[in-house]
Chain A
Amino acid sequence: MWELWCLLWSYRKKVRGKGVTTEQAHMPKTYGPFKERDPNAGEYLIIGFSPSSVPLRQRWRNNSLSADFLADYVTSFFPAEDDDSSYHRAEVKDAVSYIANELLENAMKFSADTSKFPVDISLYLHPDEVRFYVTNSTTVATTAALKEKIDDLLSGDIETMYFNQLEENAVAERDSPAGAGIGFLTILYNYNTHVAWRFHDVTDPSAQTVTVTVMISLDTTAPIKP
């Protein structure tokens, strides 16, 4: 009887344990200093890209068009009254366009081919910073490699990683253009930014896809590092 009770207790623990694990599995996981979207920030814009039958290569130009649109939009809030403010406005525009384009290129490249989920980019204007949020879905297999990359980006020395990656690419690019792994490094090394990610667990179990949101905050008081 005692043995039976122990067995039952052990079973209950396992069931409870599993319950907790399942709940945790659906909790979003955050990496880095993720700041929540703040609809009270004042100005914000969201652009969504629906899954499409048009090949990615044909849609590639939309990344640049959208990035330039976001950058032009932001300039309205940075009046050019003299040489200094004109240059500051140009710097913010340049940074927003570059960062938005890189984030969209990444999201498009790594979105699951079979995904039914859209890619979206939103931009929130705060008094001292612009925050970008880009959400896409990706495969579970891609996620593992991405998490490794994230660990490196959050814990490594960005300057060393930046120049090492360029030296590695120079060897790889003797055969074909690669440009691999340099997008986030350019954003973090050249601009005054912070990056964070949020993973929402399996959003489509049948397709084994996961939704990922990357957040970049850009310091608009000094967008480009000196």
Chain B
Amino acid sequence: MQDIALKGENYTITYDEASSTITFAGTCRLWPEDYTTVNASLTELAAQAPERVILDLCRLEYLNSSGISMLTSFVINLRNQQDSKLLVIGNRAYPWQNYALRNFQRLLPAMELKIE
């Protein structure tokens, strides 16, 4: 998966290959089909079974259910690979992350979760 950068009015989604870090920031409530590029990149990344991936959601204020579903699919795909370690970084200032990220962890118990 190559570096990606997707910017909209109120959100940014980036992937830094060097640090294997995916970052979502802002309010990400896209029309479902507008997630196509990011979804394809995440699916490709999971298929490569990277040793370690960081999902940084520290600055992600809101995410709609289409986005939650897409990120959960990524977590499930990593779980199915069995070789990847995932670190998810959240922010307690955004209460939705408390349940959404714990739901990720339920699907991938080995996932490391830091809520800052």
Contacts and interface: CB of A to CB of B under 8 A. Distances in A.
A173 interface: yes
Contacts of B51: none
Interface stretch (B15-23, B52-60, B65-73): B65-73
**Shortest beta-carbon contacts, A-B, top 5:** A179-B66, A179-B69, A170-B76, A177-B35, A170-B73
Interface of A: 57, 60-61, 63-64, 68, 87, 90-91, 94-95, 97-98, 101-102, 105, 162-163, 166-167, 169-170, 173-174, 176-180, 182-183, 186, 190, 224-225
Nearest to A102: B65
Contacts, number: 94
Given A182-B65, A186-B65, A177 B32 contact: yes
Nearest to A165: B69
7 contacts: A101-B29, A105-B65, A166-B72, A176-B36, A177-B69, A179-B65, A224-B96
Contacts of B103: 162, 166, 190
Interface residues of B, number: 34
B100 interface: yes
A182 B76 CA distance: 16
A173 B95 contact: no
A97 B66 contact: no
Q: Choose among A64, A162, A224 the residue with the greatest number of B CB atoms under 10 Å from its CB.
A: A64
A64 to B, nearest CB: 5
Contacts of B35: 177, 179
B99 A190 contact: yes
Given A170-B72, A190-B99, A177 B65 contact: no
A225 B95 contact: no
A215 to B, nearest CB: 19
